[in-house]
């Protein structure tokens, strides 16, 4: 019940973000969602795509440094309190969130939260035991 | 050190020239004779004639090797003032070849060789090549530039002297170098260490494994490098790498080279008198201490060199080596007295930064040091390429890595630098000497 996320190293310079996006576009790969962490000098681009193995090959053969990590995606009601409820569960279970980001689907009233935990398996078990809907690749795509 | 290396090749100790094993006392006597001859030859050069007259030196006044210290120094500036061949001691007709400095530090300088000089040179290169595994049945790929630079032709004739086969690939065109390695299966590679790393990288990107190639040994020279870089290259390629030293002003490669023990480079002391001096006071430093090498060529006919200030910083180990050679050994060159960066009053050598970087797990050996003085203070930034081995999706880990590199450099040099992580392959690769330092302070003056 984990999904694969690709991370890339980017220098913090004009044009650096568009390069990987262009590579994926040319390969016909659609980006489901992305998040960008940045410092003054460099950034880390994290993306979720359907065919992550192909995306990885495309990016690596263009010379990008790519890292694959397993992240946990959960589904919540797209309404006030949706995120707070899940964070409470995570807090009580003493799970540390390395980082997170969120997105909503085009249709419907659900939002998807993406979490990076140190131990994703333990996190999935805790979340599921508390009745939180953890979604896998199939549902997400 | 050897235990950490991954190369599976070993070198059997073989000595090319009995002179390498000459008893030390006997060698000292030979050096003294040759020093007198060199001074006599040098006295034919107007530059030395004037200098000797000024200090009242004649060959007869040289009674012991200590009298060397009464002789004047020769510098790069003296060579430039006597441009192009004013320091030659033989008529032009006796010259057999002219080489030049690689010109990395300004105006080129030229050096002349007689036929005998070329023979001597080939013999000296043969010594270190054999010490580092070269055998007559081998094939050697020479990826040094063939031209004014002494590396290409110097090694070429040394290899010929040994009797091995040569692939004179010359420098550059990496895909072709790789094609030659794959198809002609050389045993030995000769190039700069940074170029060897480039060849290994390109091989990887072509889907080839350098470990599966025929290469067993490499003789590296032409630029400064570190012990960590040797480990890096050996781990990436499986080649056993040997270091050698020389400079065109004195002869070219062949001044010293490593034996199978690989703990310092044996100085060819029957042909060179090597001093190690404090570059400021010009007084001798103690054994094992770093200082500037000052070399007197004892057998050069065309261009005798008296106490040439090499600007190369190294240390000399007087202990006898277990290989049986009786010569003293020099350390690798750790810097140049004129490449030395003075950062906020602290002496820093680029090689220290390189060592610090290679000491951090996962960093790549490609880096660029930039020095600037935007305000009143010097600022140093070191660009380091990110690679898959240490890239993490967690910002905290990336920042931790950057801090670790920063602390390591501070530990090695005593100064704080700004570490910049840059994209892989964004630092320019070179076929010859790698550009490691950009000093923007010079542009501001």
What's the pLDDT tens digit per position in B23-42? 999 999 999 999 999 999 99
What does the pLDDT look like over B51-98, one tens digit per residue? 999 989 998 999 999 999 999 999 988 998 899 999 999 999 999 999
In terms of C-beta density within 10 A (0-12 exposed, 13-18 middle, 19 or more buried), how is residue A54 classed?
Answer: middle
Chain A nearest-CA distance from B357, in A, is 19
- Give the per-residue pLDDT at B315: 95
- pLDDT-derived band of residue B425, with 50, 70 and 90 as boundaries? confident
Query: Which residues does chain A have within 8 Å of residue B422's beta carbon, measured at their own beta carbons?
Result: 11, 42
B127/B437: higher pLDDT? B127
Flag if B394 and A99 touch (Cβ within 8 Å).
yes
- Give the per-residue pLDDT at B377: 84
Query: Which residues does chain B have within 8 Å of residue A42's beta carbon, measured at their own beta carbons?
Result: 386, 398, 420-422
Flag if B395 and A41 touch (Cβ within 8 Å).
no
Among the partner-chain residues A16, A67, A99, the one whose CB lies closest to the CB of B391 is A67
- pLDDT-derived band of residue B433, with 50, 70 and 90 as boundaries? low
Domain ranges of chain A: 3-69, 71-140
Flag if A37 and B395 touch (Cβ within 8 Å).
yes
Chosen for mutation from B368, B423, B425, B426 (greatest number of chain A CBs closer than 10 Å) is B423
Flag if B398 and A66 touch (Cβ within 8 Å).
no
- pLDDT-derived band of residue A78, with 50, 70 and 90 as boundaries? confident
pLDDT above 90: percentage of residues in chain B: 70
- pLDDT-derived band of residue B103, with 50, 70 and 90 as boundaries? low
B223/B261: higher pLDDT? B261
Chain A nearest-CA distance from B200, in A, is 16
In this complex, is the C-beta atom of A137 within 8 Å of any C-beta atom belonging to chain B?
no
Report the candidate in A136, A127, A37 with the shortest Cα–Cα distance to residue A91. A127
Average pLDDT over residues B179-199: 95
In this complex, is the C-beta atom of A141 within 8 Å of any C-beta atom belonging to chain B?
no
- pLDDT-derived band of residue B365, with 50, 70 and 90 as boundaries? confident
For the cut 60, the answer to whether the pLDDT of residue B104 exceeds it is no
The full set of domains in chain B, from first to last, is: 2-22+111-336 (3.40.50.12780), 341-444 (3.30.300.30)
pTM of this prediction exceeds 0.90: no
Residue in chain B nearest A40 by alpha carbon: B420
Among the partner-chain residues B388, B396, B422, the one whose CB lies closest to the CB of A11 is B422
Residue in chain A nearest B387 by alpha carbon: A65
Flag if B395 and A44 touch (Cβ within 8 Å).
yes
Of chain B, the end-to-end C-alpha distance in Å amounts to 44
- Give the per-residue pLDDT at B437: 87
Which phi and psi angles does B349 have, rounded to 5°?
-105, 135
Among the partner-chain residues B393, B396, B426, the one whose CB lies closest to the CB of A7 is B393
Flag if B424 and A63 touch (Cβ within 8 Å).
yes
How many helical (H) and strand (E) elements, i.e. helices and strands, does chain A have? 5, 7
Which phi and psi angles does B217 have, rounded to 5°?
-125, 155
- Distance of alpha carbon B95 from the chain centroid: 26
Average pLDDT over residues B241-264: 96
Average pLDDT over residues B193-198: 92
- Give the per-residue pLDDT at B106: 60
Average pLDDT over residues B4-16: 77
Query: Which residues does chain A have within 8 Å of residue B424's beta carbon, measured at their own beta carbons?
Result: 9, 63-65
Inter-chain CB pairs, A–B, below 8 Å: 50
Flag if B394 and A11 touch (Cβ within 8 Å).
no
- Give the per-residue pLDDT at B3: 41
What ipTM was predicted for this assembly?
0.85
pLDDT above 70: percentage of residues in chain B: 96
CB-CB contact of B138 with B188 (8 Å): yes
Among the partner-chain residues B393, B396, B420, the one whose CB lies closest to the CB of A67 is B393
Among the partner-chain residues A11, A65, A98, the one whose CB lies closest to the CB of B394 is A98
Query: Which residues does chain B have within 8 Å of residue A63's beta carbon, measured at their own beta carbons?
Result: 423-425
In this complex, is the C-beta atom of A105 within 8 Å of any C-beta atom belonging to chain B?
no
Residue in chain A nearest B392 by alpha carbon: A67
Flag if B423 and A11 touch (Cβ within 8 Å).
yes
Q: Please state, rounded to an integer, the average pLDDT across all residues of chain A.
A: 89
Q: Which has the minimum average pLDDT: B87-101, B294-308, B312-326, B349-363?
A: B349-363
- pLDDT-derived band of residue B346, with 50, 70 and 90 as boundaries? confident
Name the DSSP letter for residue A30: P
Flag if A66 and B388 touch (Cβ within 8 Å).
yes
Among the partner-chain residues A16, A44, A63, the one whose CB lies closest to the CB of B393 is A44
In this complex, is the C-beta atom of A63 within 8 Å of any C-beta atom belonging to chain B?
yes
Q: Please state, rounded to an integer, the average pLDDT across all residues of chain B.
A: 91
What does the pLDDT look like over A12-53, one tens digit per residue? 889 899 999 999 999 999 999 999 998 888 999 999 998 999
Q: How many other β-carbons are positioned within 10 Å of the β-carbon of residue B395?
A: 16
Query: Which residues does chain B have within 8 Å of residue A18's beta carbon, measured at their own beta carbons?
Result: none
Query: What length is written for chain A?
Result: 141
Query: Which residues does chain A have within 8 Å of residue B423's beta carbon, measured at their own beta carbons?
Result: 9-11, 16, 63, 65
- Give the per-residue pLDDT at A138: 66
- Domain spanning A71-140 has what CATH number? 3.30.70.260
CB-CB contact of B254 with B158 (8 Å): yes
Name the residue with tokens 């030293």. B245
Flag if A65 and B426 touch (Cβ within 8 Å).
no
Q: Which has the minimum average pLDDT: A108-122, B136-150, B338-352?
A: B338-352
Query: Which residues does chain B have within 8 Å of residue A7's beta carbon, measured at their own beta carbons?
Result: 391-393
Residue A132, classed as helix, strand or coil, is coil
- Domain spanning A3-69 has what CATH number? 3.30.2130.10
């Amino acid at each position: 019940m984990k999904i694969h996320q690709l991370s890339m190293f980017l220098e913090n310079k004009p044009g650096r973000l568009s390069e990987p996006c262009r590579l994926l576009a040319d390969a016909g790969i659609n980006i489901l969602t992305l998040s960008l962490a940045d410092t003054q000098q460099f950034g880390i681009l994290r993306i979720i795509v359907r065919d992550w193995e192909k995306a990885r090959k495309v990016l690596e053969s263009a010379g990008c440094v790519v890292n694959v990590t397993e992240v946990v995606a959960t589904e919540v009601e797209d309404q006030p309190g949706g995120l707070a409820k899940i964070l409470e569960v995570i807090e009580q279970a003493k799970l540390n969130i390395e980082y997170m980001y969120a997105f909503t689907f085009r249709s419907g009233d659900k939002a998807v939260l993406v979490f990076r935990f140190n131990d994703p398996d333990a996190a999935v078990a805790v979340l599921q035991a508390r009745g939180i809907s953890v979604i896998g690749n199939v549902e997400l795509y | 050190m050897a235990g950490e290396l991954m190369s599976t090749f070993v070198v059997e100790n073989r000595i090319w020239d009995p002179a390498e094993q000459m008893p030390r006392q006997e060698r000292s006597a030979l050096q003294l004779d040759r020093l007198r001859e060199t001074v006599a030859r040098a006295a034919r050069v107007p530059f030395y004639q004037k200098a000797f007259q000024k200090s009242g030196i004649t060959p007869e006044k040289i009674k012991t090797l200590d009298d060397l210290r009464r002789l004047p120094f020769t510098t790069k500036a003296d060579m430039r003032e006597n441009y192009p061949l004013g320091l030659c001691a033989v008529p032009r007709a006796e010259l057999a070849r002219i080489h030049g400095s690689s010109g990395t530090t300004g105006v080129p300088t030229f050096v002349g060789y007689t036929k005998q000089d070329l023979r001597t040179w080939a013999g000296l290169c043969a010594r270190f090549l054999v010490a580092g595994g070269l055998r007559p049945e081998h094939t050697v790929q020479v990826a040094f530039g063939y031209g004014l630079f002494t590396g290409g032709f110097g090694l070429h004739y040394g290899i010929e002297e040994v009797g091995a086969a040569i692939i004179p690939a010359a420098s550059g065109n990496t895909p072709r170098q790789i094609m030659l390695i794959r198809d002609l299966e050389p045993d030995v590679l000769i190039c700069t260490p940074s170029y060897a790393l480039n060849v290994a990288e390109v091989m990887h990107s072509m889907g080839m494994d350098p470990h599966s190639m025929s290469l067993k040994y490499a003789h590296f020279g032409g630029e400064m490098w570190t012990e960590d870089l040797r480990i890096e290259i050996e781990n990436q390629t499986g080649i056993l790498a040997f270091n050698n030293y020389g400079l065109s002003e004195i002869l070219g490669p062949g001044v010293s080279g490593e034996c199978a023990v690989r703990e310092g480079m044996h100085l060819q002391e029957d042909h060179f008198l090597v001093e190690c001096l404090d570059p400021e006071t010009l007084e001798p430093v103690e054994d094992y201490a770093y200082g500037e090498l000052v070399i007197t060529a004892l057998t050069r006919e065309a261009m005798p060199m008296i106490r040439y200030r090499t600007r190369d910083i190294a240390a000399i180990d007087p202990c006898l080596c277990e290989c049986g050679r009786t010569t003293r050994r020099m350390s690798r060159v750790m810097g140049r007295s004129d490449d030395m960066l003075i950062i906020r009053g602290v002496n820093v050598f680029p090689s220290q930064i390189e060592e610090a970087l290679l000491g951090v797990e996962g960093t790549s050996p490609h880096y660029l040091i930039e020095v600037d003085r935007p305000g009143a203070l010097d600022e140093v930034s070191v660009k380091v390429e990110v690679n898959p081995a240490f890239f993490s999706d967690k910002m905290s880990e990336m920042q931790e890595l950057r801090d670790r590199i920063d602390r390591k450099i501070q530990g090695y040099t005593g100064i704080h630098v700004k570490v910049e992580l840059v994209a892989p392959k964004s630092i320019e690769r070179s076929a010859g000497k790698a550009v490691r330092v950009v000093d923007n302070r010079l542009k501001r003056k």
